[in-house]
Structure 1
Amino acid sequence: MVVPIGCTLPLRQKMAAALHSRLPGSRVTAHRTPAVMKARSLRIATAIENAGNLDGIIAMGTDTYDLAAAMRGRHTPIATYDDGTFALFLRYPDSDLSSLGLPSSKVDAWVRLQETACRRATIACVSTEWARKSVVQDFGVPPERVRVVGMGHRPRSNPEIKRSFENPRFLFVGVDWKRKNGAAVLDAFARVHEKFPRATLAVVGKHPPLRQAGVTGYGFLAREDPRGQKILDQLFAQSTAFVLPSLFDPSPIAYLEAASCGLPVIATTRGGGGELLCDGSIRVDPYDRDSLVEAMLRLCDGEEASSMGARALARSATSRWQDVCRRIVDGLMGADEQSNSAARIETR
């Protein structure tokens, strides 16, 4: 049985965080002030105590609370789950953590919280090999206690629409227009459209006004909006390729959602996202416009797009959230058993 460990902040801290988040450049720091983080740690500690006897705990977002304080001396097996480390994100100038220009003292404190949690955990789980290397090298966690479990997603499908690969139909979905590299996609598509006049590009997200041949903008389609999600499902079903060469992306769930519809993906080399689909994707340097154009032209071939999309679909079939959870639990229980065995040997 799964027991959710919720964390509802006291009204005072909740309101303070909400007000703080409205200040320029405070989106990341608002929920990480010392007062809010202390309150969050205490609330999680209370929730864990109220949950009773637990076989294990999966801890996420450990840069926003003190895991040791939340555990209050309990020895329940713990698995952390991250798509990367803050130490790793800082190496990429286009990551949110780097681009916001936050005070190093604050960022260092968050790095230490995440590092302490990973080192304390029975097993540290991550979504990609890219992230695993950082947990081992930056945090000093033994390799045998770090496990790649993949990224999860909610599969999208619309069996009512039959996809045709006769004409190339690209799809871009990205809220953060700059970091998701929307301008580069528009530029590359313009060059593709010259060779394939019937090609189209659908753009979803917080994009600027679009007045380009073959391009249609749909704006931001909120996940909680049923009508918007229906439109997005239709776009995934009708498209022939998904293009999202982000300037930086640790493990974009959008790649897996596209793959679950049988779409090949043009992925970025900046981050761990390119690992998610392997041969179901084409990885490009987001700053190399020629490589992006070449990848899009390659997927203008219907047979190529169809076969690569089939490989992407096969990859996504084992990347549902329940698949990830199963791998985390298997890793946690296996690591705990090994730890207990080692303890028994030491006491003999």
Structure 2
Amino acid sequence: MKIAYLTNRDPEDVHSWSGLTHFIAQSLKMAGNELVYVKSIQPKIGFILKLKQKLFPKLTGKFLQANRYQSYCKQYTKPFAEALKKESSLDFIFSDSSELIAAAPTSLPKAFWVDASFAGMLNYYPEFSILHPETVKHGNRLEQQAYDAATVVFFASEWAAQMARTHYNIPENKIKVVPFGANLNEALTAADIASNLNQKSFDTCELLFAGVDWHRKGGPLALKITQELNAMGIKAQLTITGCKPFADDEVPPFVKQMGFLSKKNPEQKKIYQNLFLHAHFLLVPSQAECYGLVYCEANAYGLPALATKTGGITTIIEDGVNGKTFDLNASATEYVAFIKQHFTNKTLYQKLSENAFSTYQAKLNWEVAGKSVTEILKEQLIEQA
């Protein structure tokens, strides 16, 4: 198929939207599709919206997101139309954004692939808990417009799909759940995983926290879990990457913080990969998480993932198979019990590690995801023919 990929992000940037814009495109290419990139302009925020952006916080304590307004998004339409006219034999319009599909001018079939609906984000992530009611109204209206325009909508998790079902009018046959893959260019083999597992030392329980937002990603709880493991006589270390929550002179003795490691930098990318290979568990007990690509990456290294039952995480982690999810109010002691049970029993740990990698191979990689999306798009074209 020949697909026009509409995006307002850089499809070559592995940091853009956590790399999703890039890897979604690559997954469609791997599945044999021809992709035409249609990058959006940067819309201008009109005088009235700018005035509201300044006044709403001062008067109400609530904020405005300009990209949720028709006056902002309709600026995409003309440039898109001009760009699409230059392309012949297009089969599908595809995007990583619901707003762009709402603005797309063509009568061609349309689809988008996201990790959450607008309504699903409201009062879930902190920045979506302080939106002005007017922005909420416009955002919901624009979101519904995208669902109406789309031929098919791909959600990365069942949570995201269910939130959309609950808050919007979407025919069930439009909704498809296809998990995102791990954002990795180089895949390990089962032999690599087995070799790495055989070389792992079990003298210290190595826990890995990977996330930019220390508090939303559950960093304080990860710290407490590590403390409890050491207190009960299981030597444990928490390695933190993505952020530096502690001043250099205040780092606890059982913590190692690496800061942000860029996948654009070969040396830093290698360090990042080695953290996953060296660890025994990924420990990111997020308090809010639309999806959680880091759990997919962990499984790609045969690393079991420990997390919470929130957002899209339960689509990724199957309890006792490739990791474990805990209730949001679960105590550190509950995590410690699971870690102790598997860390002190190498047979149990080996099974968990092998299953983590098998899960990655079966459903948490971009090759599988791209094929699934492509097959569904082709089915839609046949149905419409």
TM-score band w.r.t. shorter chain: 0.7 to 0.9
In structure 2, how many angstroms separate the alpha carbons of the residues matched to 1:33 and 1:113?
Answer: 7
2:219 matches 1:182: yes
Matched, 1:320 2:362: no
Match of 1:60 among 76, 96, 109: 96
Q: What's the offset of the Cα at 1:186?
A: 0.3
- Correspondence for 2:161 among 116, 132, 136: 132
Looking at structure 1, the residues matched to 166 and 41 of structure 2 have their Cα atoms a distance apart, in angstroms, of: 34
- Contact 2:161–2:177 under 8 Å retained in 1: yes
The alpha-carbon distance between structure 1 residues 45 and 272, as it changes in their structure 2 partners (threshold 3 A), is same
**RMSD, matched Cα:** 2.9
1:98 corresponds to which residue?
128
Distance of 1:214 and 1:157 partners within structure 2 = 31
1:123 shift after superposition = 1.2
What TM-score do the two structures reach when normalised by structure 2?
Answer: 0.76
Question: Within 5 Å, which residues of 2 pair with 1:108-187?
Answer: 108-155=137-184, 159=192, 162-163=196-197, 164-167=200-203, 168-187=205-224
TM-score by length of 1: 0.83
**CA distance in structure 1 between the partners assigned to 2:238 and 2:278 by the alignment:** 11
3-state SS of 2:111 partner: strand
Q: How far did residue 4 of structure 1 move?
A: 3.1
C-alpha separation between the residues in 1 aligned to 2:265 and 2:117? 31
Deviation by residue 1:184-222 (Cα, 9 ceiling, x = unmatched)? 110111001222443221111223115223211101112
CA-CA distance at 1:119 after TM superposition: 2.7
**1:292 Cα shift?**
2.9
The equivalent residue for 1:206 is: 243
Q: Give the total of aligned pairs.
A: 326
Paired AA for residue 293 in structure 1: V
Offset of residue 260 of structure 1: 0.2
- Structure 1 residue corresponding to 2:119, chosen from 87, 91, 96: 87
Alpha-carbon distance in structure 2 between the residues aligned to 1:53 and 1:119: 24
Q: Does 1:6 align with 2:67?
A: no
Partner of 2:314: 274
Residue deviations 1:47-66, cap 9 Å, x none? 32323221112222113x3x
Alignment partner of 2:95: what SS?
Answer: strand
Aligned to 1:330: 375
Counterpart position of 1:77: 109
Q: Which residue of 2 aligns with 1:345?
A: none
Helix, strand or coil at the partner of 1:258: helix
Cα contact 1:269–1:286 (8 A) shared by 2: yes
1:47 equivalent in alignment to 2:111:
no
Q: Aligned partners of 2:343 and 2:226: how far apart in 1?
A: 11
- Partner Cα separation in structure 1 for residue 179 and residue 256 of structure 2: 33
* Secondary structure at the counterpart of residue 208 of structure 1: coil
Question: How big is the shift at 1:31?
Answer: 5.5
Preserved CA contact (<8 Å) 1:266 1:295: no
Indicate yes or no: 2:350 matched with 1:306. Answer: yes
Tell me, in whole angstroms, the C-alpha distance in 2 between the residues paired with 1:181 and 1:154. Answer: 22
- Which of 229, 245, 249 aligns to 2:289? It is 249
Residue in 2 aligned with 1:107?
136
Please state how far the C-alpha of 1:247 moved relative to its aligned partner.
Answer: 0.4
User: Match for 2:329 among 287, 296, 317?
Assistant: 287
1:29 corresponds to 2:59 = no
SS of equivalent to 1:250? coil
Paired AA for residue 92 in structure 2: G
Distance of aligned partners of 1:310 and 1:194 in 2 relative to their CA distance in 1, 3 Å threshold: same
Deviates more, 1:153-162 or 1:40-49: 153-162
Change (3 A) 1:196 1:226: farther
CA contact (8 A) 1:5 1:44 kept: no
The farther-off stretch of 246-255 and 34-43 is 34-43
Identity across aligned pairs (percent)?
Answer: 23
| Paired letter, 2:105 | M
Contact 1:153 1:320 in 2 (8 A): yes
Q: Does 1:38 align with 2:74?
A: yes
The gaps in structure 1 that reach 5 residues or longer are 341-348
Contact 1:153 1:256 in 2 (8 A): yes
Shift of residue 180 of structure 1? 0.4
Q: Does the 8 Å contact 1:200/1:215 carry over to 2?
A: yes
